[in-house]
Structure formats: C-alpha cells, structure tokens
Amino acid sequence: MHDAAPRPETIPIRRRGEEIVRRLRGGGREAREKVYTRDGPRIGVALGGGSARGLTHIPYIEAMDEMGLRPAVISGTSIGALIGAGWANGMTGKELREHSYTVLGTLRIIAGRLWGAQIRNIGGWMQNGFKVQLDAERIVDAFLPEGFPSDFKDLRTPLYVVATDFQSWHQAVFSEGPLRQAIAGSIAIPSFFKPVPFANHLLVDGGVVNPLPLDQAACDTDILVGVDVNGDPSELLNKTDHKTLDMWFGAAQIMMHSLTAHMMSAYPPDIYVRPHLNSFGALEFWRVREIIAHVEKDKDNFKRQLARKIDLYMAQSAGVTRAG
C-alpha cells in the first residue's frame, strides 16, 4: 500500500466560505475511507501536465473503462487537472474524447470559444503568447462541459488539483471548495495566463513545482499509476531551428522532467507511462485527433501492465487471508 508521507514543502489549500489559506508543515492528505473497485485494489492515478500533449491522457482513461475499473483517487496537474476533473465527475474516456473533439477539433472552433472568452485574435496570440495574457478562469469556463460542478464535493471521485503558489514557491493542493478556480490556477502557464488570485495568494501552473503529482494519488492506495505526458528529447536531438516558443516550452520540459524524476524516487509508481509526444507542439490543441490517435497503440500494453498488477495484488491478498 502506498502511504504518502508528509512533505514539508507541500501546502494544501482548502477553502470553506471565507477561510484563509492554511499552511501546514505536514502537507500530507488525510486518508479517506477505503473504497475498493469491485472488491479489487484501490487505484490512484496521477495525470501530469503537458499542454496539448496532455490530451493523450484520454486513451489511458479509456483503457481503464474497458477493464471495468475506476480509480479511487485522481490527482492532476495543469491539463491533467482539467481532464482529471471530467473523469472525477463521471465522464468516461469516450465522453472525454468526444468532448475534446467538439471543443478543440479545428482552429475555427477553438477561436470561437476563445472569442467568447475575450481572445480576439487567436493567430496573434499563437505568435505573441508572451504579450497577451489569458484569463485562466474564463478559459476553464469556455472549455468545460455545460453544467459542470462548481465545487469539489459534487464530484464522484476524490480529486486533488495541484497548482503553484507563486508567492511562497510551494505547491498548493486543492481537494475542497471552488473547483473551477482550482483548475484555473493549475493550468495558468506563466506569461501565457494571468496568475489566478485565491485567498490572497497568486496561483500559477502546477507544473512549475509538481508536473506529475504522484504524491497526491499515493495516499492509501494499493496500485499507483502515473501518466507522464511531458514528452522526451528523442525527436529533438538533431533539430537546430528552434522558434522562441519551442525554446520556452523546451526549457519547461527539461525542468519538469527533472522534477518528475525526483517525485518518482519518493513515490515510485507501480505503472508509469510516458508516450513519445514531441512531434506535437505544446499549443497545437487543434490536432486533438492526431494526438489521441498517437497513443492508441499503447492502450493494450497499458491494460496488460495494469492487469498484472491487479492479479499480483489479488494473489497477495488471498495469501494473507489464508495465512490469517
């Protein structure tokens, strides 16, 4: 069983009414009541950040659906928080796929939604991202399904959303209170988005401190799954004509890779997947169909890995029961 040890650099933030941010030295989450999926192990799933590449979370969610499995705990950073919220709200992988096709299918569709969120020139924004800061809360509203819950308590599965507290330099973990504001803080890539004010603090993208939040999915779980959508350098080793945005996001990838390596040493996942994604630009959301199709071939391998871990857990549990 994975027990998340308290980490002093973690600051959980929970808001009830006008409650102020509480800073705790022990940053660990309180263990929830144990709930098994079909009398099987509790599965914790951490969904990482990676901008448009994060759409590849969806096939892995579909794979779990096809196995008849639901996670007991979901944690997410950046786009992992956005997709994780849909999953925690009861959406299936197929529904997440279809919704993504609907809201991201073409540049025209994206432009229409951004226009509603007061982004007048998507072409100019793509070329001059550092000069035009977006409102993350309006973007979240523009791309979430209609009727989506406004509070964590209305979700079907416990969800932990990771953002970065820009003022204290620590991670901020949300599991209660306003949901959309937490997601907005988690996706607020510095320079591209305005920081999100929350209880007298400013929040930016969770990937700055914790791009793959294994720590938040590990507490009181039996199988820990990490889906790392940050990509890898393999497809860029011989490239020299990098654009400004390529350099910016590439540097961020290097930073997130290092942070993830440290997180994995502290909270080793039972299953870790990292698809090759650098053929897709970080902002190329309109390539949603290509991005999702790119990892379809990995679904069966993922299911085999997960089935083996579940079989091993069940065998070990049966052995303990007989011994007792």
For each successive 10 residues of the chain (324 residues), what is the average pLDDT?
48 36 34 49 96 94 97 97 97 96 82 56 48 82 91 97 95 95 94 86 94 96 96 63 67 87 97 88 88 94 97 85 55
Instruction: Please report the pLDDT score of residue 283 as a whole number.
Output: 81
**What 8-state DSSP symbol labels residue 74?**
E
* Half-sphere exposure for 16 (CA within 13 Å, toward CB): 2
* Per-residue model confidence (pLDDT) at position 262: 96
Show the tokens assigned to 206: 């969770």
Tally of CB atoms within 10 A around 300? 11
> How far is the C-alpha of 171 from the C-alpha of 159, rounded, in Å?
16
Looking at residue 22, its pLDDT comes to 34
Phi, psi torsion values for 10, nearest 5 degrees: -95, 135
Please state, in angstroms and as integers, the Cα–Cα distance from residue 237 to each residue in 33, 46, 232, 240, following that order: 47, 28, 10, 8
Kindly state the helix (H) or strand (E) to which residue 280 belongs, with its residue range. Answer: none
Q: How far apart are CA 301 and CA 273, in angstroms?
A: 10
Question: What is the pLDDT at residue 48?
Answer: 97
Cα 317 to its chain centre, rounded Å, is: 30
- Chain centroid to Cα 95, Å, comes to 17
Q: Are 42 and 203 in contact (CB under 8 A)?
A: no
Task: Report pLDDT for 225.
Answer: 98
Reference 214, options 199, 201, 225; nearest CA is 225
Residue 143 to residue 184: CA distance in whole angstroms: 11
Which token pair is 266?
Answer: 């502290």
Residues pairing with 307 in the sheet: none
Give the chain's length: 324
- Which amino acid would we find at residue 68? G
* Residue 136 main-chain phi, psi, to 5 deg: -60, -35
HSE-CB at 247 with a 13 A cutoff on CA atoms is: 6
Q: Where do we find the tokens 């089935």?
A: 307
Please tell me the predicted confidence (pLDDT) of residue 105.
79
DSSP annotation string for 213-232: -HHHHHTTBSEEEEE--S--
Only one residue has tokens 């950046």, namely 78
CA nearest 57: which of 223, 179, 228?
228
Structural contact between residues 229 and 276, judged by C-beta atoms closer than 8 angstroms: no
pLDDT, position 234? 59
* Side chain identity at residue 28, one-letter code: G
Cα-Cα end-to-end distance for the chain? 18
Rounded Cα distance between 257 and 114, Å, is 30
Q: How far apart are CA 168 and CA 164, in angstroms?
A: 9
Distance of alpha carbon 92 from alpha carbon 125, whole angstroms: 32
Residue 181: the pLDDT is: 95
